[in-house]
Each structure stands twice: as C-alpha cells, then as structure tokens.
Amino acid sequence: MSDWIKWVAPAALVSTVVAPAHAVQFMSLAEAQRLAFPSATQFIPIAGGACRAMEGNASVGYVVFDRVIGKHLYIDYTVAIGPDGRVRRVEILQYRESYGGEVQNGSWLAQFIGKSAGSTLQVGSDIRNISGATLSAHHVTEGVKRVLAACSGGGR
Amino acid sequence: MRRARPFLGTIVEIAVTDAGAGAEPAIEQAFDAIADVHRLMSFHDTDSDVRRLNREAAIRPVSVDDRTLRVLQFALDLNQRSGGVFDISVARHLQARGLLPLHEHDKTATPCLQSSSRAIELTPDRLVRFHDPATAIDLGGVAKGFAVDCAAEALQACGVSAGLVNAGGDIFAFGKKSWPVHIRDPRAPSGFLCELSLCNEAVASSAGRFDPFHSSSALGTAIVDPRTGENPGEILGASVRASSCMVADALTKVVMLRGERASASLKYFSASALFVRGETDVLATSDWQELRLAG
C-alpha cells in the first residue's frame, strides 16, 4: 500500500542528533602496493610519494601515494600506474570527514550508514558511508590527473 | 573488509562481512562490474553505449550491451507507468540548462516532444532505434542504482555471504545481516530524519542537487520535469526503498516530482518512500517501516 502518512519529527530530533566526525581506514599503503602489483618483490621509494614496483630487477610500474582535501579534511589515496603510463587503479586508503559539514549544499538528502549518531563505533559491525562524496570524488579525480601529469613530466 | 574507489562521479564503497582469502578478489570483481556500467552508460565517454545511441540511433538501429538494454527496458517501462514523469530523454533539458554538455553530434538542445517510451524502440532482435532525431538520452537517473545492483550480484556470484554496496547514498545490502542506514535531513544536514535497518534491500535518495554522474559541476539540480523542463517544486528530498537499487534510484525522481501522486508507481514496484516538502512536511508511505527516531 502507498497511503501516505504525515510524520511529524520532534523538534528535539534534529537538534540533539549531532553528526559525529569520523575517519575510515580502508587499507594501508603497503596493502595498496601489494594489491596493485601482486608479483612485485619490492617497492623502491622515489620522489614525491611515489614508489617503483620492482619484480627482481625489472620495473613493473609505480604506486603514487597522495592526499587531497575532501570537503574539509584529507583523503589519502594511491594511484597505481602500469609500465605503459596508464592508471591501473585508484584506491582510497583513508577518508576523514565530518558528517556535519555539508556547507556546499545546504539542502541535500544523503544517506549514510552507522549506528546511532552518538554511539561508539564497533569496528567490523558498523559501516559508515561516505557522505558528501560528490565533491570529494571530484577532488580525487583532479588529484589523479595531477599525479599523472607529474609522472609523465619527470623522472620516468 | 571494506574498500573504496572513485567511480560514477562519487566514491563507491564496498563492504563484505567475509574475511577469507576470497573477499579481496570478490571486491575486485564488484568494482569491475561498476567500471563496466560506468563505461557503458556515461553521457561523456565517446565510446559509451549512451553516446553511440545519441549519435546514431536516429539514423540506424544500434546494437548495445545486454546491461544497457536491461536499463533501457526498465526506463521505458517506468516512463509509461509514471505518466511520463520519469524520462531518460530528459537529456535535452539538461543540456539546455548547461547541466550536460552539448556534443559535436548534437545539432540542438531542443527537447524531443515525444515521451521516451514512444520515441525509443527496442526491436525484437535487441537493437535500439530512436524515431525522433531530437531524442537524446541520459541514464544518470538510473545507472548509478543499476551499477550498485551489478556490484552486489558480482559479490554474490563470488560466494560472498553478506555485504553492502554504497555509491554516494545509493545502497544495496544483501545477506543475513541488517545494516543501519541513517537518512539525512535535507532541512538540517547535520541532523537525521530517521534510521533504517537494511537487509536484502536497496535504498536511494534524491534531492535538489546535481547528480554527480553527469558532471563535475556541483551547482544546480539535475532533477528536471521532462514534461515542463522545470525543477521539483517544494520537495526538498526523497528516499525510496525497493528490492533493487535501480528501481529505488529511478523512483526517487518520480517522488521528487510527484509527491503523493507517485503512489501508483511505488505500489507497482512494491517500493516504499519518504519525502520532505517545505520546512514542515515529512510524508512517508504507510509501509515505510521502522520509521523511528534516530539514536
């Protein structure tokens, strides 16, 4: 049935439920390196957050660690680049953001996941969605372009 | 295990409860499925099915990927069921407002006067033909939800027992686990409207904001009434729960534009909805269960 009921939110709800800040760690840099180049035997740091993936004596690509500002806080991510200079994968390592900071769009309805706002996070059972991901994704995209430009511009 | 990557103009997050050695490759397959949908249905990529259709389908029948065909079938069906409110040929309106780019093959941003279910034909031999040369489609109102469904299918095909896929608020949860989801209040973005418990179900939300699937621009709203070219009236945001994320994603547009009058479409797909109108009204279907206070 789709009979509509009018739901009156208690005024207290909006004011008392304050969005918490949070950070989500998806993976470590070492994990990202290993997943991008499973056959690599070592990762040799070169300039500017970049590592060269080595399989024996042969270079099989690069993993560049970078961070961009999401809305207010940093997003850590890696770009894995194949020997052909093309992006192999982009992986978000860590996302730090506050739920309360929707300053860009005053009225948008996003969903996010978690327990009730004030509760303690339980790793493994609580999943928090990335809210405000639009702008963040845009910044990551810009960051990847910058990384690629830097990689093609020098040192390779 | 949780992973996140940028796709579809947002950051897509995949979580699985399984921790075994199979989890990582399963997530990889799921991201591949999302990348495929992105590649096939982007309005921007020159080689996407959507671009090929807009370029050629008015001239000759065009063959597309089965996944694109599935989305088109659903979109044309919903166009009829919603009385024309949901319409993938809204692209011209969005182009006219500068929300979508004009491509070199676009002679005009003048909207096609026919609804998409009349102007677009899916032939029995699985080809697509546009009967009106003014037709241009944009799958931004449905492809993100479909991509979420594809990712969830890929995870299940890999033997993952429970998981969740979230593309910027378009969410599908499967398996024997309930996932708490908070609905943000569009009037007070730091507050919550309610909390849901999601289990083998999808939820999607829309609001007066730009859909990132189309463009990097964060200004304006992507929701346009295909009949008038106007933005939604007083409805600030809508959420829909349904059995698939594609259905939920598409129905949010119908609720945004029609409010209570979206009942028939919701009923047909066994979906439930909640929307916020103006500063005071929150309306929910009577089957929008677990409607309760957050916290």
- Residues A5-32: tens digit of each pLDDT: 887 655 444 433 444 445 678 889 999 9
Backbone angles phi and psi of A33, in degrees to 5:
-65, -45
Do the domain assignments include residue B59? yes
Domain's final residue, options B130, B154, B170: B130
Cα separation, B198 vs A45, in Å, equals: 44
Do the domain assignments include residue B201? yes
B176/A109: higher pLDDT? B176
Cross-chain Cβ contact A134/B212 below 8 Å: yes
Give me the mean pLDDT over the B108-116 stretch: 72
Q: How many CA atoms lie within 13 A of A125 on its CB side?
A: 7
Question: What residue numbers bound the domain in which B97 lies?
Answer: 49-130
B127/A154: higher pLDDT? B127
Per-residue pLDDT at A104? 25
Dihedral-angle region of residue B152 (phi above 0 means left; psi in -120 to 50 means alpha; beta otherwise): alpha
Q: What is the longest distance spanned by two Cα atoms in chain A?
A: 69
Question: In this complex, which of B24, B239, B293 lies closest to A109 when CB atoms are compared?
Answer: B239
Which residue(s) pair with A62 in the sheet?
A52, A81
Q: Is B125 annotated as a binding residue?
A: no
Count of pairs with CB atoms under 8 A, one residue in A, one in B:
209
Q: Is the dihedral of CA B46, B51, B54, B55 positive or negative?
A: positive
B111/A57: higher pLDDT? A57
CATH code, domain with B116:
1.10.3980.10
**CB contacts, 8 Å: B11 with chain A:** 92, 95, 130, 133, 136-137, 140
Backbone angles phi and psi of B128, in degrees to 5:
-120, 135
ipTM: 0.70
Domain's final residue, options B72, B102, B130: B130
- Among B29, B166, B179, B253, most A C-beta atoms within 10 A, so best to mutate, is B166
**What is the SS3 assignment for A143?**
helix
A13/B168: higher pLDDT? B168
Per-residue pLDDT at B182? 75
Asked if residue B185 and residue B88 are part of one domain, the reply reads no
Cα separation, A38 vs A60, in Å, equals: 10
**pTM of the predicted structure, to 2 decimals:** 0.81
Per-residue pLDDT at B123? 93
Q: Is B259 annotated as a binding residue?
A: no
Token pair 């990712």: residue? B151
Token pair 């929910």: residue? B284
- Residues B259-276: tens digit of each pLDDT: 999 999 999 999 999 998
Give me the mean pLDDT over the B205-209 stretch: 71
Do the domain assignments include residue B114? yes
Q: Are B100 and B131 in contact (CB under 8 A)?
A: no
Residue type, A63: V
Domain's final residue, options B114, B130, B146: B130
